A = this chain, B = another copy of it.
Amino acid sequence: MAESTETIFEQFPGGVFPAACSSRVLLDHVMSKWGVLVLVSLTDGPQRWSDLRRRAQGISEKMLAQTLRTLEADGLVHREQQPVMPPRVDYSLTPLGEELAEVLVPLLRWVGRNADAIIGPATS
Contact = CB atoms under 8 A, between A and B. Distances in A.
Interface in A86-106: 96, 99-100, 103-106
- Stoichiometry (number of copies): 2
B9 A115 contact: no
Interface in A71-124: 74-76, 96, 99-100, 103-112, 114-116, 118-124
Contacts of A107: 30, 103-104, 107
Interface of A: 3, 7-9, 11-12, 15-23, 25-28, 30-33, 36-37, 40-41, 43-44, 54-58, 74-76, 96, 99-100, 103-112, 114-116, 118-124
Given A15-B57, A22-B124, 19 more contacts: A8-B40, A8-B105, A8-B108, A12-B112, A15-B56, A16-B37, A16-B40, A16-B108, A17-B37, A21-B115, A26-B114, A26-B115, A27-B111, A31-B33, A74-B119, A75-B118, A76-B118, A99-B114, A103-B103
